[in-house]
Structure 1
């Protein structure tokens, strides 16, 4: 086919020179990703972060295309070029199963975007499957096995899913670009020069170790400053409690939800088909929320208005040792008139910026290997003091969220508000102005 190009702010051009890739991009399941935000509720904090999973998947594909091209030209003895198409297709499709406000929605309705990705790839009724099966009858299963980490070629698996893969490399650069958080940038060009296929996966040349080191630090900074931002998490809490209220009301108000939000009915009924899942996207959900703003149920209406109009909850940081005191705070909030089941939440966000291989872990991570001059491999943190300081350490915090009205400066100067303010300003919790973003 004649090469097609997509102009991209991160990679300049995304090159498509294989008909299968172009046909997959034009399937209805992949086009749906235009209507799914990459950053979910983070766009309410970083107003530029409105990009889609469509653009991210194209970016992951482009990095995979560049890597397989380098491997095929420079490492013919250790890389099988017959794996190029499989690698590029899987990179393109790796997030196709993400749904509306994906992670928050998943937790409440027990959906699994990775399982749904595999279904979209292997279900004969999808347009994606119909394109893939034209390559070979078993090609859809091969793509699904890479995503499931069961494909025998670990080089392909690690390019798609590891601690430094095409997915992470694109979303760090892309999210950094659109949010304006420049510390998420790293030297992709250098990493592509030093990445090499090895017997059991991928590795990086010793002379490029600092570029990999920079990538790890950039990932750490993006999680701490963007993905775990307290205001973004406050919007997640609002979304979670809004959907929880709708789920609670549904059995007694089926006609109302059938009229205002019909595509959610299968999720309330727990009888979800793949087509039901594909019918939801961020735009559909936001339309429902706007309708719920006039609901006769005071809580549903209020939470919908807070979400649509970005009236974020406030929060305090607490430790596991002090978690027992949260009950008192919930009681104070209840006494003011807010139902703590819908106006409070505990939100935990932790991440491992980097970890070495732990075979006994529930989900062991494939460690980053550095190729030495003598051909041996060394684990990254054993060579880098900087990465060693981050390795194996979970970073993040526990937060307790509550309505802004509980703060005295918000205008409610009742005795209970003062009691609440006095409580959050003691030694049990950490409260700061960073929550005002």
Structure 2
């Protein structure tokens, strides 16, 4: 991208460093760690500039700033420039847009890479044509595409949409992500595991960074759910053992938020403040656990543990909304003035931006009595669980 846009010299080196270093703040299980870092981060101890960004981005900045090996090979001023570029931007606008924007190199890479490694075709698009379409009419202005590149961008945006709908929001992906996140919550809040707490409670100190960089997926699993011996935390260990043995939670409920209910409270379910959403999720989990225990005829000693029931909501943006990144649109270089891509694309003008999919789901630690009847059971449980969610929503709001 940089070469296509005639970015050279020190700017090219800066972009290369930013590309190499932009995800160094990810912990075990990469993006899955973000929710736990944001939840447990000690924001009272963070510097003002660290509070401006997501926790994993603040961790990335501290690693770039303090890592001994990086300090040896990259000058201080250059590391600070990389940190600024990954944050609010540095120098010309195009540098930030190559690294993080609606057409950035990261998206161009991961769509093709993830499509290949998942064995699907959803993420394919014409990379060469897309990059040939990139233009920079004003060296100090915004990255744009030329008029002939509209169809290439349409293909790229649709690839992103289809990968999100079919891979990134796939049921099994959602379940495993939520199981890891819940295991971390249980390890810190129920099992009182000090090593896990230290790992996820970012306080902006050098000690946190030194410890954080010692952890990866393998060490996490072997520490908190060892193959041999008992785990240090009974609840977190049990959840992680389920992952290790592929005894995944089951989706017992799924429903769209909004239609066909036309209930304002239901439609705004995803808009809850995270602490209020947590209260709602726990209340729903309590009721669903008791309900499923009764429905499945489980004895008291085998009753479903509410801590292992997860109520979760998620959304899939419309293809039109997916064409933007943090409200920053893709511009087409047309005369007399550049226009938004969604106005120049006949295809995207025909897409209603409101056509987004939002769902609420419930996962539970059950085994289907008979796999052939699971759809019938889900159908039988749907209205009771839906009513539980709506009732608890009403209590949360009041």
TM bracket (short chain):
0.7 to 0.9
What is the rounded CA distance, in whole Å, between the counterparts of 1:427 and 1:246 in structure 2? 28
> How far does the alpha carbon of each residue in 1:190-234 deviate from its partner, in whole angstroms, 9 at most, with x for none?
112111123322111111211111000000000000000011111
What residue number does 1:305 align with?
241
Question: By how many angstroms is 1:267 displaced?
Answer: 3.2
Residues 333, 300 of structure 1: alpha-carbon distance in 2 compared, 3 angstrom cutoff: farther
Q: Distance in 1 between matches of 2:63 and 2:217?
A: 19
Tell me, yes or no, if the aligned pair for 1:172 and 1:185 is still in contact at 8 Å: yes
3-state SS of the aligned residue for 2:360? Answer: strand
Aligned to 1:217: 158
Aligned residue number for residue 384 of structure 1: 345
Deviation, structure 1 residue 344: 2.7
What CA distance in whole angstroms lies between the structure 1 residues aligned with 2:323 and 2:97?
A: 14
Give the match's secondary structure for 2:329: coil
Cα distance in 2, alignment partners of residues 355 and 268 from structure 1: 32
CA spacing shift, 1:366–1:402, aligned 2, 3 Å: closer
Task: Name the CA distance, whole Å, in 2 between partners of 1:187 and 1:93.
Answer: 26
Alpha-carbon distance between aligned partners in 1 of 2:340 and 2:185, rounded to the nearest angstrom: 44
1:75-112 deviation per Cα after TM superposition (whole angstroms, max 9, x unaligned): xxxx5654221122212211121111233323224352
**Equivalent residues in 2 for 1:34-113, closer than 5 Å:** 67-72=1-6, 81-110=9-38, 112-113=55-56
Say if 1:376 and 1:202 are closer, same or farther in 2 by CA, change over 3 A.
same
Aligned to 1:241: 182
Q: How do residues 244-323 of structure 1 correspond to structure 2 at under 5 angstroms?
A: 244-251=185-192, 262=195, 264=196, 266-267=198-199, 273-291=208-226, 294-295=230-231, 299-315=235-251, 316-318=253-255, 319=257, 321=263
* Aligned partner of residue 201 in structure 1, secondary structure: coil
Q: In the alignment, is the contact (CA less than 8 A) between 1:224 and 1:396 conserved in 2? A: no
Q: Is the 8 A contact 2:123 2:160 kept in 1?
A: yes
Structure 1 residue 116: deviation in Å? Answer: 1.3
Pick aligned residue for 1:329 from 288, 291, 301:
288
Deviations 1:8-33 (A, max 9, x none): xxxxxxxxxxxxxxxxxxxxxxxxxx
Report the alpha carbon displacement of residue 142 of structure 1 after superposing the two structures with TM.
1.1
Q: Which of 309, 317, 323 in structure 2 is aligned with 1:343?
A: 309
Q: 1:130 aligns with which of 72, 84, 92?
A: 72
Partners of 1:274 and 1:283 in 2: how far apart? 19
Measure the CA separation in 1 of the matches of 2:118 and 2:373.
34
Structure 2 residues without counterparts, runs of 5 or longer: 42-54, 270-279, 388-398
User: Deviations along 1:309-338, whole A, 9 cap, x unmatched?
Assistant: 122222222226567995753431355411
Partner SS, residue 167 of structure 1? helix
Q: Gaps spanning 5+ residues in structure 1: where?
A: 1-66, 73-78, 252-256, 430-437
Deviation of 1:342 (Å): 2.4
3-state SS in 2 of match to 1:225: helix
Q: Which residue is 1:120 aligned to?
A: 63
Aligned with 1:183: secondary structure? coil
Q: What residue is the counterpart of 1:409 in the other structure?
A: 370
Change (3 A) 1:355 1:249: closer
Corresponding residue for residue 169 of structure 2: 228
Q: Which residue of 1 aligns with 2:131?
A: 192
How many residue pairs end up in the alignment?
335
Task: Give 1:389 deviation, angstroms.
Answer: 4.6
Secondary structure of 2:2's counterpart equals helix
1:167 is matched with 106
Offset, 1:160: 0.7
Aligned partner of 1:366 in structure 2 is 328
- 1:27 maps to none
| Secondary structure of 2:24 counterpart | coil
The equivalent residue for 2:148 is 207
Cα distance 1:182–1:205, how it changes in 2: closer, same or farther (>3 A)?
same
* Superposition TM-score, scaled by structure 2 size: 0.73
- Find the residue that maps to 1:68 and give its secondary structure: coil
- CA shift for structure 1 position 426: 7.5
Give the CA RMSD over aligned residues. 3.4
